[in-house]
Amino acid sequence: MPDTTEMPNSPAPLLPPPWHSDDRSRPRIRDVRVILTAPEGTRLVVVKVETDEPELYGLGCATFTQRPLAVATAIEEYLRPQVIGRSVHDIEDLWSMLAVSSYWRSGPVLNNAMSGLDMALWDAVAKARRVPLWKLLADRYNGGKFDDKAWVYAAGGYYYPGKDLDGLQDEMKHYLDLGYSTVKMKIGGVPLADDLKRIEAVLKVIGGKGENLCVDVNGRYDLDQALACGAAIAPYNLRWYEEPLDPLDYLLHAALATRYAPPLATGENLFSMQDARNLIRHGGLRPDRDVLQFDPALSYGLVEYLRTLAMLQRHGWSGRRCVPHGGHQFALNIAVGLGLGGNESYPDVFAPFGGFADDCPVENSLVRLPDIPGVGFEAKSALYRVMRPLAEG
């Protein structure tokens, strides 16, 4: 039988029809808009959820800096048609629908697209309730309990041409001046002997306190290299040894954990509850010391992060072992409202998305959150300048 399907001029997504319901739950999603921008060289995908209530909207960031056009297309052509007409309060149901609306359900494009939309929806819901997102999360999921402040650390210590030990020390001194007592630096990009000199240079700046220094390999090592580095840095008693191995090779992590007793950290390159569960089941990590860095802005959003936290609890892990990667306001709200172990911070990298509200300075690596409705993007002037064209448009 011949195929008589009429093909439009441009491919149309295979989507269910827009949601129509007789219930009167409000507010409803009127539209989803996206802008692409690159302030300070950082490519951002900003999402706005518009509602049928005047002046009520939500903002999110769906940033996949290497594929911004793909993420924007995924939101505009595939996610947007499925959510228009739905109540903003249906976040969990919307998430489930979007997650299964395509047979292939994983990958950085879809998870960033869904994360940005999820973030904007939570921003809108908190604004509709006239409470900060951290307060909404505490009331809904944490028995009303929240942390007054979150522990944060300054991530940096990158390799740059011409950056010597003096330059590295100056960078770390700058972070201390900003109020951070704990810092993180990269290792694995030069021979181990040179990295040990870099570590010792930073330790001198922070008073020799290994517990105030984290090192991050970004998955560069094989097992032999990770073991050699682990043996060399163990005497420093560092806060943690981060992503020494391929983040998806759980067997290697388990092997390393049997030989390296101090804390390990990983998880920023795992993007679903199932990935996280495989790490917990097979990665050999220790719930009394190791750190999990799943990033809700990169892994399908808060709905999936809540599923991940529930899984961790079933496996005997405390939320205090979770310190999300990313250094942004969304994760900070989650850390405070759900009682996590803290949050990363990028004082001088990934501007203007990284960092926190203007009137919430860091003191001794602790920061409070602004008491304004939503995620609080409006309280960070450099970031809100980027979002304003959507917010006010």
Which pLDDT score is estimated for 38? 82
pLDDT at 12 over 70: no
What's the pLDDT tens digit per position in 333-354?
A: 999 999 999 999 998 877 777 7
Peptide bond into 2 cis (omega under 30): no
- pLDDT confidence of 25, banded at 50, 70, 90? low
Output the CA–CA distances (angstroms, integers) from residue 259 to 228, 235, 242, 244, 304, in the order listed. 10, 14, 15, 13, 32
How many CB atoms lie under 10 A from the CB of residue 97? 16
Strands (E), 231-327: 240-242, 264-266, 291-292
Point out which residues pair with 240 in neighbouring strands. 214
- Position with higher pLDDT, 128 vs 383: 128
Is the pLDDT at 100 greater than 60? The verdict is yes
pLDDT tens digits for range 137-170: 999 999 999 999 999 999 999 999 999 999 999 9
Domain boundaries, given as residue ranges, for the chain: 9-130+374-393, 138-372
Q: Is 215 helix (H, G, I), strand (E, B) or coil?
A: strand
pLDDT of residue 355 exceeding 80, the answer is no
- At residue 320, does pLDDT exceed 50? yes
Q: What is the mean pLDDT of residues 237-253?
A: 97
**Burial of residue 164, with CB atoms counted within 10 A of its CB: 0-12 exposed, 13-18 middle, 19 or more buried:** exposed
CATH number for 138-372 (one of 1.10.20.140, 3.10.450.30, 3.20.20.120, 3.40.225.10): it is 3.20.20.120
Q: Please tell me the predicted confidence (pLDDT) of residue 18.
A: 45
Which pLDDT band, with edges at 50, 70 and 90, does 356 fall under?
confident
pLDDT digits (tens, 9 = 90+) for 172-210: 999 999 999 999 999 999 999 999 999 999 999 999 999
pLDDT tens-digit series, residues 49-64 = 999 998 999 999 998 8
Residue 15 has a pLDDT of: 41
Distance CA 340, CA 151 (A): 9
Q: What is the set of active-site residues?
A: 186, 325
Q: Are 380 and 358 spatial neighbours (Cβ–Cβ below 8 Å)?
A: yes
Q: What are phi and psi of 185, to 5 degrees?
A: -135, 160
The size of the chain, in residues, is: 393
CATH H-level superfamily of 9-130+374-393: Enolase-like, N-terminal domain (3.30.390.10)
Residue at token pair 């990935």: 275
Distances from the Cα of 89 to the Cαs of 49, 86, 95, 260, 285, in angstroms? 12, 8, 11, 45, 36
Question: How many angstroms separate the CA atoms of 135 and 333, rounded?
Answer: 8
CB of 71 within 8 A of CB of 62? yes
Predicted structure pTM score = 0.91
The pLDDT of residue 258 is: 97
The pLDDT of 235-248, averaged and rounded, is 98
At which residue do the structure tokens 């390999």 appear?
A: 217
Write down the residue that tokens 């072992």 correspond to.
321
The per-residue pLDDT of the chain, averaged, comes to 91
pLDDT > 50? residue 22: no
